[in-house]
């Protein structure tokens, strides 16, 4: 494991003063997995007040970010390094926090309190790897396994349930059977986890690009706890020519086709069809229709995302993606100009919406999806060409303005209606955008 020089400098400072220090946890695990390491957590047998004195005497700034729990943040060479004193923990309260912690001189005691064996490995360039719970073997086996008794570990801190699922997704590791059973047993305890922490874990989980991600959370009895609305689409059939999968499976397959998408687009896919059961109707042939489901799904997403403490900006973006996920487009300029006009000509938003449609179409009937996918891809290509050519018409580009409309005798709400009529006309045919022509249209429209 190649540690950066600033970490080696910290080790040297501790050792010169009679202390020891190791890096621990994710950075060690990722190095063994041959994944990039960016953050290095340091543990030491020095007490917090000793660490503060040690670095302050050489002019370094250190912040007491978690002093009561033995955690400090050292600022060194523009790096923020979290340093924690070896510690032991008493019994946990409220399924989240230990009732009391105490400091120890034993690195073994510190590693023993950690969640999973793959995170309970420490490293020093001279002393090597400290791995009392066979975490390296589990890494090579690609296994998530609790340190000690899985039921006790999950009961202590319910956040570990979400972390196990997230690590499994990010690393493509399987969860060891006893650990999996403990997740199932204690799933309901995630009610003790803050909405902010649930959101953070769920975000990382989605962005891992795990195949069949929603089915995995459902199997763990977790999905309906994070998103209760999901239960109404479990095994809900879609008797329509466009679909062959139930709504839940359709959603998960669409998510499978979101590899590389940002978080907002992935969340839009998760929520995009949740409104379908609430507006289901059947025609005389027994074919189902879901008129208005995009708007209902948008409202469901808005409420749930608020409860999970997403920002208003993020919620607005996601709900816009959902609202337009079934908006008709085709590779024709006038159709795409009309589409853009509904989005204030935000080309990036339009492209993101088409990405949602692309994933959605990948999850439709195999015999019909090819044409749908090609339609979206061609529309995206034409949108990019239109962006390059600046072939987008905004309302301010009209050859007439409100004063011209008023001069012809329009009043009140009719002024806005007249301008909108002209705008839609020009979107359909930009050659119509001359003052004489638009004034002529206004006169005809008024009569």
Q: Is 309 left (phi over 0), alpha (psi -120 to 50) or beta?
A: left
Rg (CA), the chain: 29
229-392 has which CATH code?
A: 1.10.3210
H or E stretch at 79: strand 79-85
Q: Is 36 left (phi over 0), alpha (psi -120 to 50) or beta?
A: beta
Phi–psi pair at 233, nearest 5 degrees: -105, 0
10-residue averages of pLDDT along the chain (447 residues): 95 97 96 91 97 96 92 95 94 81 95 96 96 97 97 95 98 98 97 97 97 98 97 94 95 98 98 96 89 97 98 98 97 95 94 98 94 97 94 88 91 91 90 91 83
Architecture of the domain delimited by 5-140: 2-Layer Sandwich (3.30)
3-state secondary structure of 421: helix
| Res 447: pLDDT | 66
Q: What is the dihedral of CA 102, 108, 112, 113, to 10 degrees?
A: 30
3-state secondary structure of 396: helix
Which tokens sit at 306? 């608020």
Which tokens sit at 229? 């609305």
Its sign, for the CA torsion 240, 245, 247, 250, is negative
Domain boundaries, the chain: 5-140, 142-226, 229-392, 395-446
pTM recorded for the entire structure: 0.90
Q: How far apart are CA 89 and CA 101, in angstroms?
A: 4
Answer yes or no: same fold for 142-226 and 229-392.
no
3-state secondary structure of 359: helix
- CATH fold, domain 142-226, is Hydrophobic Seed Protein (1.10.110)
| DSSP secondary structure letter of residue 157 | -
């Amino acid at each position: 494991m190649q540690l950066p020089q600033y970490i080696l400098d910290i080790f040297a400072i501790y050792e010169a003063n009679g202390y020891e220090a190791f890096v621990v946890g994710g950075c060690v695990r990722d190095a063994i997995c041959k994944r990039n390491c960016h953050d290095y957590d340091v543990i030491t047998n020095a007490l917090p007040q000793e660490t503060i004195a040690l670095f302050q005497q050489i002019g370094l700034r250190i912040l007491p970010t978690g002093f009561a729990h033995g955690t400090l943040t050292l600022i060194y060479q523009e790096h923020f390094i979290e340093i924690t004193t070896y510690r032991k923990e008493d019994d946990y309260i409220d399924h989240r926090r230990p009732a009391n912690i105490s400091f120890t001189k034993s690195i073994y005691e510190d590693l023993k309190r950690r969640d999973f064996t793959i995170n309970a490995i420490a490293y020093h360039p001279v002393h090597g790897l400290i791995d009392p719970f066979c975490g390296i073997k589990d890494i090579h086996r690609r296994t998530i396994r609790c340190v000690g008794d899985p039921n006790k570990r999950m009961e202590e801190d319910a956040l570990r349930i979400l972390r196990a699922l997230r690590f499994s997704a990010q690393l493509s590791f399987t969860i060891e059977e006893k650990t999996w059973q403990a997740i199932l047993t204690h799933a309901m305890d995630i009610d003790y986890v803050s909405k902010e922490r649930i959101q953070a874990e769920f975000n990382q989980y989605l962005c891992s690009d795990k195949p069949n991600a929603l089915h995995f959370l459902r199997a763990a009895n977790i999905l309906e706890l994070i998103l209760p609305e999901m239960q109404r689409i479990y095994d809900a059939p879609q008797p329509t020519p466009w679909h062959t999968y139930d709504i839940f499976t359709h959603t998960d397959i669409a998510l499978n086709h979101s590899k590389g998408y940002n978080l907002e687009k992935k969340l839009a896919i998760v929520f995009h069809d949740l409104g379908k059961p609430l507006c289901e109707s059947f025609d005389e042939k027994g074919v189902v229709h879901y008129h208005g489901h995009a708007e209902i799904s948008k409202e469901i997403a808005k409420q749930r995302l608020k409860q999970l403490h997403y920002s208003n900006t993020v919620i607005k973006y996601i709900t816009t993606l959902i609202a337009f996920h079934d908006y008709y487009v085709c590779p024709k300029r006038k159709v795409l100009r009309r589409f853009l006009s509904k989005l204030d000509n935000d080309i990036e938003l339009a492209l993101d919406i088409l990405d949602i449609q692309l994933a959605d179409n990948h999850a439709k009937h195999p015999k019909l999806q090819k044409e749908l996918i090609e339609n979206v891809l061609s529309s995206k290509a034409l949108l990019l060409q239109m962006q390059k050519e600046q072939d987008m018409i905004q309302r301010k580009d009209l050859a007439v303005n409100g004063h011209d409309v008023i001069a012809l005798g329009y009043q009140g709400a009719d002024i806005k209606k007249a301008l909108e009529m002209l705008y839609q006309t020009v979107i359909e045919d930009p050659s119509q955008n001359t003052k004489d022509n638009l004034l002529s249209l206004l006169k005809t429209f008024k009569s």
